[in-house]
Structure 1
Amino acid sequence: MVPALGESACGSGNFQRRLLGQAGSPATTSAFRRMLQKGSPAAIDQHETRGDCVMPEAIQGSSKKGNMTSGRAWAVVAVVFLAGFCMPANMGKTMWLAPLVMESYGFGPDILGWVNGVFYILGALIAFPAASFVRRIGVRSSVVIAMACAVVGNLIGLLSGTSVMVLMASRIVEGAGFGLMGVIGVTAITPWFPKGRRGLPLGVWGMWVAAANAITPMLDAAIAEATGSYLSVWQFLLVFDVIVLVLFLVIYRDPSEPYIDAAEKAGEVKFSYKELFSNKVVWVLAFVFFVEEGAFIASQGFLSSYVTTSIDAPLMVGTALVSAGAIWGACFSPIAGKISDAIGSRRKVLIFCMASAVLFGLLVFWVTDLRVYVLVIVLNGFTGGGVAAMLWASSSEVVPSHLISGATAALACSQSTGMFLGSMFMGNVINAVGYTMAGWCVLVPCFAIGLLAVIFGLRGKLK
């Protein structure tokens, strides 16, 4: 709490008067005086305090245009989210339309695993270089490059004909955009919000995959069914990517006064891979994302095929089930962020979500009654929405601001690597032992290991 005007702070009754004197004009001084009297979070959240003393730079930064109360902050969240949404929307094409793609190209689940999996290769490889790359050229240019990958990838896919290799090449290019956005998203959003209030905006960002998984399964199936060709989905997403790129260029701005550490603002620190790699908490978060996303995406990639073959349901029913789980996941992501802000703990919410993931792994390829799938849908949301939201939010809080792009790169790399291995490996396991045993032998152990890492690896290191 900031002392009322006239009270002593830091042992000096003149301290606040000195702060007000730094504000500038009488009008600005008056605004600062009102903020001090109210104990405005905008005046105190982003910089350090010592005892009851609010440091001068906290007051100097309080009138900035780029703080969390600005409408621009949430507009930036919206357009960055839309750019991110495009990437998993492209990712899901071959997953949600798996029966049609396999029939058209003449391959089975084993090759489908590769078609799904290669999407993540380049994204995993470029994640760490992208950490310094994004800081060097800026968020705006980085998003343009990521969106260009999405557009070019869709074009190559449209020209693939019946060539599996060309289809895979298109997936790799699209995956590069996915990997870039994994690094860019948190880096773009965090400067607009103070640390203690990033749970909700990063929870919104955490929906970028879940929201795409919620909307595109039924959308892709409906487009393919209406036009009689799955290639119409590639055409639709190509146009959508271009529209989002234009919208981003019109709306996005960098914050005029970002919420960053004082040392970075003063230019006293620079991005350092050595400093990043020595942070053990970042590696634990990355490991959890690796095993969780590997298992989760492995399940999503084959869920529509499982429903159509094992439950004997139409493709639209299978994609509807995938969408229902992802819709709840997309909704739960910001809810999880808001809850973690309210209780002051990311770790507790993360433990709950990972425990839900273990149960999800047990049931997802075992349940054969569509009515029981209600429980699977609920667990799917906790897993797909809550885990990612907590990990992205945590990555911005366990490192100083100049390393946030590096921490998110670690998560993006582990996410893409896990997705690649999970997608590739799962198809072969399903071919060998069937859906149910594959779920019990692959999904459950991965989720359980991730849960143990959160419980023991982050104890005392993450609130």
Structure 2
Amino acid sequence: MAQTVTEGSGQRPVVARAAWRQLAACTAVATLLQLDGTIVTVALPSAGGHFGATAQGQSWVLTAYFATYAAGLLPGGRMVERFGPRRTALLGLAVFAAGTLMGALAGSLAVLIASRVVQGVGAGLASPAALTGAVGGFPAERRGTALGIWGGASGLANLVGPLLGGLLTAGWGWRANWWTLLALTLSAVAAALGWVRIATSGPSRAADGPMRTARAASITAALTFAMMIGTFFAIEQYLQQAAGYGALTAAAAPMVLALFIGAASPVAGRTTDRYGERGPALCGFLAAAVVFGAYALLPPHGPLMVPGGVVLGFALGLLFPATSRAALNSVPDALHGRVSAQLSAGRLLGAAAGVALAGLSFRQHVTADRLHWILLGGAILALAGVAVVAAGFHGAGSRGDG
């Protein structure tokens, strides 16, 4: 059984090697789930064309997945608490693999949609298990570091996913994406089989009230993904439909964002461990509000778009580890499965709401004026995040907090 020891200074706990291996395995599971969304999205037009499906019909391939994914999160969190993250992750990955194989062999759009339902069920089980397992063996003071690595990998997955999906679709057809996902899923199963039971290294803080900080963190996660996914969906729509940019050129904005989220998250995780969650989260939301406010006032395809994406990437890189650490450190370890599920549900619901609101704003025409209003909405959401952090992160994760 792995133990956590303390450095000679007595101030900085050292994490056991087994905990780092488990973090790597859990991060691989999370990266798989992140890649799934981006790879399938890129391959969907080709798959829909193969089955003669309309754009509306194709959208059900995504909607079915995200709906079942979200619905399975809270039961998945309860299973983590009852059976442990390893068993729950293995079950989730097995279901996800079955759905992926079903999709690779699908002979109709209906079967493809059904396969996404099965994948969503598996993802709902695997996601909270992976997040809970990622911080297993890490003392509360070092969880920001683990979550920073986690967030960095997710950011890079958003960068690699569209490129990989495009290459696979262009080179071998849309089914190659599902076969690749199946191979990655089996690799994640092999990694999960290597998990060991890791002793915790001291209790988290006692829950403050009825999980108040955890709820605030879930709201923060929802606001983060609503402003991020919603506004960048709107920018992509504008660049391709109104400004005349090609798909590859228009993809530069989210690629810059993903790259700098990946670069900033590990640094942000260590910063959060040192100074607590509240400061980095406030800085992240304030910086996002400034960028979105500037975007709302300036031409949407002007020269400041890429520098703004750099700043926004660093801002989101601050938010991801701070939000997760605040939630996990505010409750006893026994409730980590439930809290992990709430965080994931917040992200999914926020992303869905952001895209829905942006699509509603563009319901008649995609114009620069409508885009400016959407970007202004992103700034308002960021300011709402400032209020939630200020009210809900009451000193959470302050330096030396255990």
Moved more, 188-197 or 110-119: 110-119
> Which position in structure 2 is the counterpart of 1:64?
none
**Per-residue CA distance 1:391-425 (angstroms, 9 max, x = gap):** 11111211122222222222122222223333444
What SS does the aligned partner of 1:206 have? Answer: helix
- Asked if structure 1 preserves the Cα contact closer than 8 Å seen for 2:73 and 2:124, the reply is yes
**Per-residue CA distance 1:33-52 (angstroms, 9 max, x = gap):** xx79x34457xx6xxxxxxx
CA apart distance, 1:132: 2.6
* Residue 146 of structure 2 corresponds to residue 204 of structure 1: no
Shift in CA distance, 396/246, structure 1 to aligned 2, threshold 3 Å: same
Moved more, 190-199 or 84-93: 190-199
* Residue 197 of structure 2 corresponds to residue 254 of structure 1: yes
- Asked if structure 2 preserves the Cα contact closer than 8 Å seen for 1:116 and 1:301, the reply is no
> Which position in structure 2 is the counterpart of 1:237?
181
In the alignment, the residues of structure 1 paired with residue 134 and residue 31 of structure 2 have an alpha-carbon distance, to the nearest angstrom, of 15
What residue identity is the alignment partner of 1:125? A
* Residue 396 of structure 2 corresponds to residue 454 of structure 1: no
In the alignment, the residues of structure 2 paired with residue 426 and residue 156 of structure 1 have an alpha-carbon distance, to the nearest angstrom, of 33
Shift in CA distance, 176/356, structure 1 to aligned 2, threshold 3 Å: farther
In the superposition, the TM-score normalised over structure 1's length comes to 0.73
Shift in CA distance, 158/372, structure 1 to aligned 2, threshold 3 Å: farther
> Which position in structure 2 is the counterpart of 1:381?
313
Moved more, 192-201 or 149-158: 149-158
**Per-residue CA distance 1:156-191 (angstroms, 9 max, x = gap):** 33344552x544433333333433343223321323
- Asked if structure 2 preserves the Cα contact closer than 8 Å seen for 1:191 and 1:260, the reply is no
In the alignment, the residues of structure 2 paired with residue 364 and residue 205 of structure 1 have an alpha-carbon distance, to the nearest angstrom, of 31
Match of 1:430 among 347, 359, 362: 362
* Residue 241 of structure 2 corresponds to residue 295 of structure 1: no
CA apart distance, 1:78: 0.8
Q: Which protein is bigger by CA-based radius of gyration?
A: 1
What residue identity is the alignment partner of 2:382? F
> Which position in structure 2 is the counterpart of 1:332?
264
**Per-residue CA distance 1:196-215 (angstroms, 9 max, x = gap):** 12111111122343221121
In the alignment, the residues of structure 2 paired with residue 406 and residue 140 of structure 1 have an alpha-carbon distance, to the nearest angstrom, of 15
Matches within 5 A, 1:3-402: 38-41=8-11, 68=15, 70-97=16-43, 100=46, 106-108=53-55, 115-161=61-107, 163=109, 165-227=110-172, 229-249=173-193, 251-255=194-198, 257-261=199-203, 278-301=210-233, 304-342=236-274, 344-362=275-293, 363=295, 367-369=299-301, 371-402=303-334
CA apart distance, 1:303: 5.3
In the alignment, the residues of structure 2 paired with residue 332 and residue 368 of structure 1 have an alpha-carbon distance, to the nearest angstrom, of 24
What SS does the aligned partner of 2:176 have? Answer: helix
CA apart distance, 1:89: 0.6
What residue identity is the alignment partner of 2:197? D
- Asked if structure 2 preserves the Cα contact closer than 8 Å seen for 1:157 and 1:170, the reply is yes
Shift in CA distance, 115/149, structure 1 to aligned 2, threshold 3 Å: same
What residue identity is the alignment partner of 1:345? G
Shift in CA distance, 41/449, structure 1 to aligned 2, threshold 3 Å: closer
What residue identity is the alignment partner of 1:335? V
CA apart distance, 1:350: 0.6
What residue identity is the alignment partner of 2:179? Q
In the alignment, the residues of structure 2 paired with residue 254 and residue 416 of structure 1 have an alpha-carbon distance, to the nearest angstrom, of 30
Moved more, 316-325 or 184-193: 316-325
**Per-residue CA distance 1:138-163 (angstroms, 9 max, x = gap):** 22211112222332332333344552
What SS does the aligned partner of 1:369 have? Answer: coil
What SS does the aligned partner of 1:261 have? Answer: coil
- Asked if structure 1 preserves the Cα contact closer than 8 Å seen for 2:231 and 2:375, the reply is no
Give the % identical residues: 19
State the aligned residue count: 389
CA apart distance, 1:133: 0.8
- Asked if structure 1 preserves the Cα contact closer than 8 Å seen for 2:283 and 2:315, the reply is no
